[in-house]
Amino acid sequence: MRRSNRNPEQGSAAVEVLVLGVLLIVPLVYLVLTVAALQGAAFAAEGAARQAARSLALAPDDAEGRAAADRAVAVALDDWRIAASAAAVEVRCSPDPGDCSAPRGTVDVRVRVAAALPLMPPALDVDAPASIPVEARSVQRVSMFAAAP
């Protein structure tokens, strides 16, 4: 009976590291990409809501304020490379819902952004969602010294 000094486990460490590395690294990288996409969408939604509410609260009249708010939302979303079609903006004004420039009124802006999941092709027909909704809200008070309509 001949004995070999060779270990049967010798040389398998490289294969184990390679297989386990792929099994652990790929999900970890996808998790980091997903968290980064969600964080970017949250920053975009929060910035868009805040700037839109400020634009409406500081505008001399309602029409100019709404136009400025639309521009502010477009810039905030573009800064984070989010398509305007992926966002929904809702504006509520009180005491008059039709006029956001009423003195001592409040402007409530909500921005909902659909954060696209990374590496998810749009044509993929699966039951899993391809985006995660992110929402931000900002409330601004119109100055009591604002020009009365």
pLDDT at 145: 81
pLDDT at 56: 92
Average pLDDT by stretches of 10, the chain with 149 residues: 61 75 88 93 96 93 92 94 90 89 92 88 64 93 76
pLDDT at 107: 95
The number of residues in the chain equals 149
Cis peptide before 122 (omega within 30 of 0): no
Whether 102 and 145 have beta carbons less than 8 Å apart is answered as no
The H or E element spanning position 115 is strand 106-116
pLDDT at 123: 65
Find the angle CA(140)-CA(83)-CA(92) to the nearest 5 degrees: 25
Q: How far apart are CA 58 and CA 141, in angstroms?
A: 9
pLDDT at 126: 58
Q: Of 37, 41, 42, 43, whose CA–CA distance to 118 is shortest?
A: 37
Q: How far apart are CA 42 and CA 34, in angstroms?
A: 12
pTM as predicted = 0.78
pLDDT at 100: 86
